[in-house]
A and B are shown apart, each in its own frame.
Chain A
């Protein structure tokens, strides 16, 4: 299995532990990736506010690069995945629009024919790699732990761009992957809610209320950690959880927020430090002690 890998700006910037843990996990799974070092930001819906066509052009540019490489794209960010899926939908059934965009790419000798498939790592595991295959690489049983899923808006909505009708298992993919590690899924409404990041710098009170509600509810339901395939969600849910709790709750929340590959890495026997869990804002020490006290991982 080989993919053109688009880590996204946040994995390359604000959440380096995501990049680090993804690389370890992919290596373990034998999934090969070639990084799209010359791709741009997807625009994350923000750039599209100002200029939708520019957003579509930059994404089509990335699709064309992958098409030239003959590889499907792997993303590790809900926001990248959703934004790219929306761009693909915008050009795939509109030849005139695609031709206009291609004209802007001619300078770089790029032309997109519409064939690039873009999938989040989460979907690749469920749809292509298979959970049974995935489990073969697990050496540490995480049963006894409770994890709350948190998808990120862009991996849930709009459902037509994300192909839920064609591939219904996408809708519950995160719950399935959590279960595959032996951990218990915390069932809560916040799993499909918004983390509030897009308005963090615009209306901080509202943004922090969202963080406090979702992490607080999960914690109250007994979650040991929250697991997310979206590094932007991580920035808010981890980075601003302390402040959110201070402003909105009587007590601290202290719920570690794990990137999806970090959870997989724990099940694969990597140490929390190897997975960059020491780089989080919310302390992961209790989770670390718990995991390290589990029976020493058997050799895979």
Chain B
């Protein structure tokens, strides 16, 4: 007979209808099997210990995207997360609702801001040109590529843990930007340039810090950050180059091309835009202090001995691929 396993779950609770609504943690001890997922344990608590515990779930097979929440501080799809991957006997595992969204009750968050942002990117095909006699066709390889993004189940794990949304709720965010990419990269869509023009604005593609949190927590390998990076390149290719983000990437690129190394001082100046006087002044106090401390990097490049070879590699990579 195997021993009985007792798991300790520390669950965030919140009841907006109580006389004195407040967020608190409740500890539950529940008997589990070694094959349990975190969701199995939560459902067992609700069914056998405390019928007032609210949570969302439906398919229990990582298809519907209902059950994203934080496990030990990181967003997970709990039906896809084995309990023994986040908990070991003797310890407790902490469960919170997904982050960056208002909590309705217990582990249930309000997804309205999530859906509003998805709507904001016009998530439907906008073909232009003559209407074909049969369906709109796309090459197989494009569809295989797009399938990687279409795997998104709109679970919100990426949005929950996005570091920029934590400080700025206006950022369009990883899920909606991945959705935008799904249309930008679709050869049947006729609004690529218009879409990129909108995404190029404030709160769009350039506001991402590249922290990779969305890549790490996505249960479907959608790689939202990777899609954002590709759209940055596409936006620059389409001629949207007058943003500090585009200038930042350009400056970095040119520095490596010239010298093989990064030139931080020029990066700062060129990102702001040489003519952005208020921007330059806002950076200045730190620059001046750095100068006094003798550590402002030399605005001339730090060149490496074989910079000619590096320049050649860079130039070669700029040639259109055969």
Which residues of A come within 8 Å of B, CB atoms?
9-10, 12-17, 37-41, 43-51, 53-54, 57-58, 61, 104-105, 107-108, 153-154, 157-159, 189, 193-194, 196-199, 201-207, 209-210, 213, 235, 239-240, 243, 278-281
Contact = CB atoms under 8 A, between A and B. Distances in A.
Contacts of B209: 153, 194, 196-199, 206-207, 210
Contacts of B250: 50
The 4 closest A-B pairs by CB, nearest first: A201-B271, A194-B211, A157-B212, A13-B297
B64 interface: no
Nearest to A10: B264
Given A104-B316, A202-B248, A9 B253 contact: no
B243 to A, nearest CB: 8
A47 B290 contact: no
A144 to B, nearest CB: 28
Q: Is the interface of A mostly helix, strand, loop or mixed?
A: helix
Interface string B157-181: 0000001101110010000000000
Contacts of B263: 13
A41 to B, nearest CB: 5
Nearest to B223: A158
Interface residues of B, number: 64
Nearest to B282: A204
Contacts of A105: 313
Contacts of B268: 201
A90 to B, nearest CB: 12
Nearest to A207: B209
B112 interface: no
18 contacts: A9-B261, A13-B302, A45-B210, A61-B310, A108-B306, A157-B211, A158-B212, A198-B210, A199-B164, A201-B267, A201-B272, A202-B245, A203-B168, A207-B209, A209-B168, A210-B209, A279-B293, A279-B295
Contact of B249 (A49, A206, A210): A49
A271 B267 CA distance: 33
A201 B270 CA distance: 9
Contacts of A189: 73
B313 A206 contact: no
Nearest to B216: A157
A49 B210 CA distance: 10
Contacts of B166: 213
A220 to B, nearest CB: 17
A147 B98 CA distance: 29
Interface in B45-95: 73
Interface in B294-312: 294-295, 297-298, 302, 304-306, 309-310, 312
A154 B283 CA distance: 26
A279 B317 CA distance: 39
B232 A281 contact: no
A57 B317 contact: yes
B234 to A, nearest CB: 11
B289 A281 contact: yes
Contacts of A243: 285-286
A288 to B, nearest CB: 15
Contact of B256 (A41, A49, A207, A239): A41
A199 B208 CA distance: 7
B121 interface: no
B227 to A, nearest CB: 12
Residue among A46, A49, A104 with the most chain B CB within 10 A? A49
B163 A43 contact: no
